């Protein structure tokens, strides 16, 4: 079932609901998992450029968001979250289609991202939308981001990984565009 929602650029006054979406969506990882909201400075940096897109209900209440920005010739998808109560309704797919359409329109080479390779609702979701897991050959910036995530999610730095092994391994993915 696809929930009726509208995608639009986030407004500068929507930091709180966007931050709450990430926290709420992360409940899917389990009660013991804690995450930080999207940092305010990151939101402020990208909201003005249209890089933060929200899915809103008929009452204009944000229920999901994506954050994607240009790196080199690619559009890097840093975040895609949907509030737990709105999950499994096609909102994440709509947000992802919006990111892909933006990349095609801008003639980006690809949409890229990093995620947990064993998270059953992440990598398979992206693969259904045409993304492929990259092995060794990837853009340099993506390798740097992936390495930083691997360090961040290591059991030494984040003991929670031992309870939630699906956070590892971290993988890089891309969906080529015609750009």
| 43-84 confidence digits (pLDDT tens) | 999 998 889 999 999 889 999 999 999 999 999 999 999 998
Q: What is the CATH number of the domain that holds 90?
A: 3.40.630.30
Asked whether residue 1 is domain-assigned, the answer is: no
| Residues 132, 173: Cα–Cα separation, whole Å | 5
Residue 172 inside a domain? The answer is yes
- Domain extent at residue 27: 6-176
3-state helix, strand, coil in the chain (%, to 5): 40, 25, 35
Counted domains in the chain: 1
| Residue-wise pLDDT tens digits, 1-41 | 345 789 999 999 999 999 999 888 876 665 555 566 778 99
> pTM here?
0.87
Q: List the beta bridge partners of residue 176.
A: 110
Residue-wise pLDDT tens digits, 135-154: 878 888 888 888 887 776 66
Both ends of the chain: CA-CA distance in Å? 32
In a domain, 124, yes or no: yes
> 53 with 8: CB under 8 angstroms?
yes
* Separation between Cα atoms, residue 156 and residue 124, nearest integer Å: 27
**pLDDT at residue 87 in the model:** 80
Cα(162)–Cα(25) distance, rounded to whole angstroms? Answer: 21
Q: Describe the crossing of helices 15-25 and 40-47 by its angle, rounded to 10 degrees.
A: 120
């Amino acid at each position: 079932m696809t929930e009726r929602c509208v995608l639009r650029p986030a407004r500068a006054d929507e930091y709180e609901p966007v931050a709450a979406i990430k926290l709420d969506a992360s409940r899917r990882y389990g009660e013991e998992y804690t995450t930080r909201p999207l940092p305010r400075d990151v939101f402020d940096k990208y909201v003005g450029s249209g890089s933060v897109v929200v899915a809103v209900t008929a009452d204009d209440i944000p229920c999901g968001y994506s954050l994607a920005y240009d790196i080199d010739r690619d559009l890097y998808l840093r975040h895609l979250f949907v509030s737990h109560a709105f999950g499994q309704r096609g909102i994440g797919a709509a947000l992802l289609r919006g990111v892909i359409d933006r990349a095609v329109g801008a003639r980006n080479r690809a949409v890229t991202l990093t995620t947990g390779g064993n998270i059953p609702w992440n990598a398979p979701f992206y693969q259904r939308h045409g993304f492929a897991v990259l092995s060794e050959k990837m853009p340099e910036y993506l390798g740097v981001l992936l390495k930083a995530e691997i360090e961040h999610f290591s059991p030494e730095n984040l003991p929670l990984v031992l309870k939630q092994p699906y956070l590892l391994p971290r993988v890089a993915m891309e969906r080529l565009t015609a750009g």
